[in-house]
């Protein structure tokens, strides 16, 4: 067995693990990052791209926001379509902030480049990574690379390894509580090199189901339609997708909709999930390892970043000031913000999607709620301040 030593072992090289590693490196704290897959696989994953102000500020602190500011698209509002209407939420007016549209893959790419430039160690294709002895003062992570067994001795372990990763699964039964809501539909999403239908996101409520018009750039669009969980990709031709999308948008949006061939198509299930607590001895769960939200509220990546913020602050206090107050408060602080974002994402999902029991009455209730939203200054303030992100 080959042995290594670091201060913080990070399992998972998605944006949460990479961002934590980058912040720690800037403060002089050594970290090794492990991932079970290779770099190209990670960069091939397509994820959301609406960044809250707190996320942008944290990326700035990590020194990886230059390209984001050059290529990202600042948004000061978004639209909701319903009952053949298109209404705008002015988030800057009601919350005093903007969001930034910049793909998660690009955030990951920027973080990878910064880590490589710093010469910090990331181990890809690390099989069977397992956090061990984290309930003692001598935790370590074991893994296999190219048939050789390795062990990383460390002070702390950060589980940034996603919903299916080993970190949460390593917690003993009875030590963790899990809360879950699985939604009875999915999102069929496509990427196409066509200009977006609008320069802001459009969320659509329609009797046939939800739709979302988003973008990755001024020439690349990301579109979604609600679909059945048992739908198959091969059953959704591009022609069928565009037809469903057009039926769910108001007439005024159709004049600016450009159709084109998709180059990526996938179906994603939706769920709300929270695991409590998020700390077990010297193991800390971060991001999707601890919580999942439906993408309706654009909170998944942003929640991971706020987790990183709290954990980094605690580690900074531990190594810089000899205080464990921040680490001791990590789980409670993170979960307080998580549950508020889970609530907002659930609310957006229930307001905009057609459920099996929605029927005509439920559809009219949704439309009445949306009508109220756009007639109330208080309601507009509430949706705006949640959309731009609650303070870290």
Q: What angle do the packed helices 53-61 and 15-26 form, to 10 degrees? A: 50
Burial 305-323 (b: 16+ CB within 10 A, else e): bbbbbbbbbbbbbbbeeee
Would residue 75 show up in a list of annotated catalytic residues for this protein?
Answer: yes
Q: What is the distance in angstroms between the CA of the first residue and the CA of the last residue of the chain?
A: 41
Find tokens 């990526």 and name the residue: 264
Would residue 203 show up in a list of annotated catalytic residues for this protein?
Answer: yes
- What six digits make up the tokens of 28? 């002089």
φ, ψ for residue 243, nearest 5 deg: -65, -45
CA proximity to 39, closest of 147, 123, 165, 127:
123
Give the separation between CA 329 and CA 336, rounded to whole angstroms.
11
- What six digits make up the tokens of 60? 């700035």
Catalytic residue of the set 102, 134, 183, 203: 203
Q: What angle do the packed helices 300-321 and 325-352 form, to 10 degrees? A: 170
Whether the CB-CB separation of 227 and 294 falls below 8 Å is answered with no
Whether the CB-CB separation of 383 and 90 falls below 8 Å is answered with no
Would residue 312 show up in a list of annotated catalytic residues for this protein?
Answer: no
Catalytic residue of the set 15, 75, 94, 294: 75
Would residue 387 show up in a list of annotated catalytic residues for this protein?
Answer: yes
Find tokens 């090289």 and name the residue: 13
Torsion-angle region of residue 322: left (phi > 0), alpha (psi -120 to 50) or beta? left
Catalytic residue of the set 150, 291, 299, 309: 299
Would residue 224 show up in a list of annotated catalytic residues for this protein?
Answer: no
Catalytic residue of the set 131, 139, 294, 295: 295
Question: Which residues have a catalytic role annotated?
Answer: 75, 203, 295, 299, 387
């Amino acid at each position: 067995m080959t042995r290594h030593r670091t201060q913080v072992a990070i399992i998972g090289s998605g944006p949460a693990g990479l961002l934590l590693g980058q912040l720690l490196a800037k403060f002089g704290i050594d970290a090794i990052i492990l991932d079970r897959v290779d770099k190209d696989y990670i960069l091939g994953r397509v994820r959301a791209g609406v960044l809250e102000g707190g996320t942008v500020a944290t990326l700035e602190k990590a020194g990886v926001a230059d390209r984001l500011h050059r290529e990202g698209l600042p948004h000061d509002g978004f639209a909701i379509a319903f009952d053949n209407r298109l209404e705008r939420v002015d988030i800057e007016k009601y919350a005093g902030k903007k969001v930034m549209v910049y793909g998660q893959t690009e955030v990951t790419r920027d973080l990878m480049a910064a880590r490589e430039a710093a010469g910090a160690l990331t181990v890809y294709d690390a099989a069977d990574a397992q956090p061990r002895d984290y309930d003692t003062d001598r935790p370590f992570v074991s893994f296999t690379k190219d048939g050789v067994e390795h062990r990383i001795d460390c002070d702390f372990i950060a589980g940034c390894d996603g919903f299916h990763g080993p970190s949460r699964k390593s917690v003993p039964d009875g030590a963790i509580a899990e809360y879950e809501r699985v939604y009875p539909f999915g999102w069929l999403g496509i990427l196409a090199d066509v200009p977006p239908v609008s320069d802001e996101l459009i969320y659509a409520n329609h009797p046939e189901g939800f739709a979302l018009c988003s973008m990755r750039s001024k020439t690349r669009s990301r579109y979604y339609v609600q679909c059945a969980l048992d739908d198959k990709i091969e059953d959704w031709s591009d022609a069928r997708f565009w037809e469903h999308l057009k039926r769910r948008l108001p007439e005024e949006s159709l004049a600016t909709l450009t159709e084109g061939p998709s180059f990526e198509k996938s179906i994603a299930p939706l769920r709300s999930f929270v695991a409590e607590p998020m700390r077990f001895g010297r193991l800390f769960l971060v991001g999707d390892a601890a919580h999942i939200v439906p993408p309706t509220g654009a909170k998944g990546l942003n929640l991971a970043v706020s987790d990183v913020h709290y954990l980094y602050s605690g580690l900074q206090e531990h190594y810089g000031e000899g205080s464990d107050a921040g680490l001791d408060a990590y789980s409670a602080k993170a979960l307080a913000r998580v549950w508020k974002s889970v609530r907002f994402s659930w609310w957006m999902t229930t307001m905009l999607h057609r459920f099996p029991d929605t029927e005509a009455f439920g559809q009219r209730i949704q439309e009445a709620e949306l009508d109220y939203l756009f007639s109330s200054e208080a309601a507009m303030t509430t949706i705006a301040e949640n959309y731009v992100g609650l303070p870290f």
